[in-house]
Chain A
Amino acid sequence: MSILVNKDSRVIVQGITGQEGSFHGEQCALYGTQLVGGVTPGKGGQKALSMQVPVFDTVYAARQATACNVSLIFVPAAFAGDAILESMDAGMELIVCITEGIPTKDMLGVYDRIQKSNSRLIGPNCPGLLSPDEAKVGIMPGFIAKKGNVGIISKSGTLTYEAVDQLTQLGIGQSTCIGIGGDPIIGSKMDDLLSLFHADPETEALVLIGEIGGAMEIEAALCYAELTTKKPVVAFIAGETAPAGRRMGHAGAIISGADESAAAKKKFMRSKGIHVVDSPADIGKTMQALLA
């Protein structure tokens, strides 16, 4: 089984007539995702992609006509916050925002409202989700994944592919791979998804990929410590060698009271029973050993 997206997900693409939206929309549909339509204001009534899916002016109209429940956003950064809110107000269950470069202030307002709604947001600035052999909602390369029982939660893009590839090479499949995004403000955090994966009976183990900055990995470790039945978690935190002071002002770290360095995060996660690897090349092997 999988979480959040599966073969029954009915997906639309916001920005479907744009370059990114049309290319990746097509790729998702070719993977086997039920891509039922798209939205581009002013282009309602047209058809898009080689599959000739209908284009609507608004998300609301798309939902009425197609009963879609998942939206995939490729709208440019200046308008992406608005696109997320439109999907939320139309009642979409899952909103996946791939767009990179959304101003933080816009996301603060969006995050506040998403929290109070029934919609879940993944991203922004993320590669999206992939439930192997079921649905791809995003830009991950489908061919590296294999259906199975390991869930993946990652802040990164290509590093996620690296982890997925290592697992697949060892014959270990995945339930769902989720790229949560690297921005300061994102819709779904690690702890939240960690709980979702623990509630999924088919997910047996997890890979967590984090990096320097923020306190999300610490929060995930705290959440993990609270769980009554724990699934094994392998984690890698990128940025041990990244130069300090390149991050946003240290005042951010003072507020959260957390040490944002890779070393501090790794130490804390280990103390809560997470199998943290130092080398990114050891993610697959370590999982293999844990599942054996």
Chain B
Amino acid sequence: MKIHEFQAKEWLKQYGIPIQDGITVQDKAGIKSAIDKVAEELGSKAFIIKAQVHAGGRGKGGGVKFAANKEEALSLAHEILGMQLVTPQTGAEGRLVKKIMITEALDIDKEFYLAIALDRSKAMYSYIVSEAGGMDIEEVAQKTPEKIIRYSVNPAYGSALPAYQARLLAFRLRLDPKAQAFKDALKIFTKLYKLTLELDASLVEINPLVLTKAGRLIALDAKMNFDDNALYRQKQILAMRDLDEEDPDELAAQKYNLNFIKLKGNVGCMVNGAGLAMATMDIIKLKGGSPANFLDVGGTASSETVKNAFSIILADPNVKTILINIFGGIVRCDRVAQGVVDAQKSLARKVPIVLRLVGTNADIAKKIIDESGLSIISVQHLEEAANEAVQLANKG
């Protein structure tokens, strides 16, 4: 799960990590008083207006702007709040900006990159720090990998980062051990680690972490992702979920316990198991077609789940045909077949269906399909299934 910058900053603040502060606004009527308040309480003469969307690359799309005074801030805030923000991560359609953060502007001397992320290979959390802050870190990693410092922390330490490791990171960033910024860095590294573990974060990123002209280290931006498996014990994180940032079709699928991701093609897919679902999409592409979605009906596909899956797939007008690929291990094919037949009778919109059921009770399933009188193309092999579906989709 992702949260917004302003929410991530609330967490940083709570853990005692200094942030570039500000006020979050949802409607235009609140803009002016927010600017006045930032000026008054934070003593800032200049401002930064920042769009609050989950997609990265906000600055590149014009969603983050500097205002030299209150008047500029007012007009920029009006411009950004409600805009359709297009960034390298949103796709061409962009994302509607429903919230903005109006923050103080700081005098910056230097920018660093700081993140804690899960290193799957080592099975440890790792720090990533760099003196090349404020930039796209993936680009830095690609062009100048020597500028990126990685450091793993053994899980046996619990949520307490050993002091020497914090010092090591601060030295690697070439901070002066006599300066206040060095002390700030130790505190930030230690607290950020504690936060990551205590909140079950999978990624915490501060980019940039700035050294101000006054010699202090401050988090200018913040991004946090959380482990979905741990949300049951992170109620405060779960409460920060913003449904506006999620795809409405995917949300509907979640209600039915279906794992669904919408794509741009025209072959609808209904598969059990994530791996087989991806493999089915891959073979559709290989046969010259294009999948309309990823959909995993899960390990207990019943007649009800199949019906729900149909309605979600058919909500996409691009879908020309549906390929159903079920490998019945625990799942019984006859139940799936019954679900397909029931759904076909009750659904308003009908598209050709290619059905492949293998495994437990596949023979009974075939009989149910054959006797239903519905025009369902029943196939035996995966390749055949993909060929049929692609041909149907390209024809329609």
A residues near B, CB below 8 A? Answer: 77-78, 101-105, 107-109, 111-112, 127, 139-141, 143-144, 154-162, 165, 182, 184-185, 209, 211-216, 219, 236, 238-243, 245-246, 248-252, 254-258, 262, 278-281
Contacts and interface: CB of A to CB of B under 8 A. Distances in A.
B128 interface: yes
B149 to A, nearest CB: 11
B376 interface: no
B276 A158 contact: yes
Interface in B214-256: 223, 225, 227, 229-230, 232-233
B90 to A, nearest CB: 10
Contacts of A215: 120-121
Contacts of A248: 118, 202-203, 225
Most buried by A among B128, B156, B271, B329: B329
Contacts of B203: 248-249, 251-252
A157 B383 contact: no
A103 B281 CA distance: 28
Contact of B274 (A141, A182, A184, A257): A182
Nearest to B207: A251
B285 A241 contact: yes
B229 A102 contact: yes
Given A238-B275, A239-B278, A241-B278, A141 B121 contact: no
B72 interface: no
Nearest to B326: A158
B263 interface: yes
Nearest to B156: A112
A104 B227 contact: yes
Interface residues of B, number: 64
B119 A252 contact: yes
Nearest to B55: A245
A242 B278 contact: yes
B26 interface: no
Interface of B: 89, 115, 117-121, 123-126, 128, 137-138, 141, 145, 148, 150, 154-156, 197, 200, 202-203, 205, 223, 225, 227, 229-230, 232-233, 261, 263, 271-276, 278-286, 291, 294, 299, 327-330, 358-360, 381-383, 386
B358 A165 contact: yes
16 contacts: A104-B229, A111-B123, A127-B329, A139-B330, A144-B329, A144-B359, A156-B274, A156-B279, A162-B358, A215-B121, A241-B284, A242-B278, A249-B203, A252-B120, A280-B280, A280-B382
A103 B197 CA distance: 11
Given A159-B279, A238-B278, A240-B285, A104 B205 contact: no
Nearest to A115: B123
B327 A162 contact: yes
B381 A140 contact: no
A158 B120 CA distance: 23
B73 to A, nearest CB: 31
A108 B282 contact: no
A30 to B, nearest CB: 14
Given A236-B279, A238-B282, A254-B137, A161 B119 contact: no
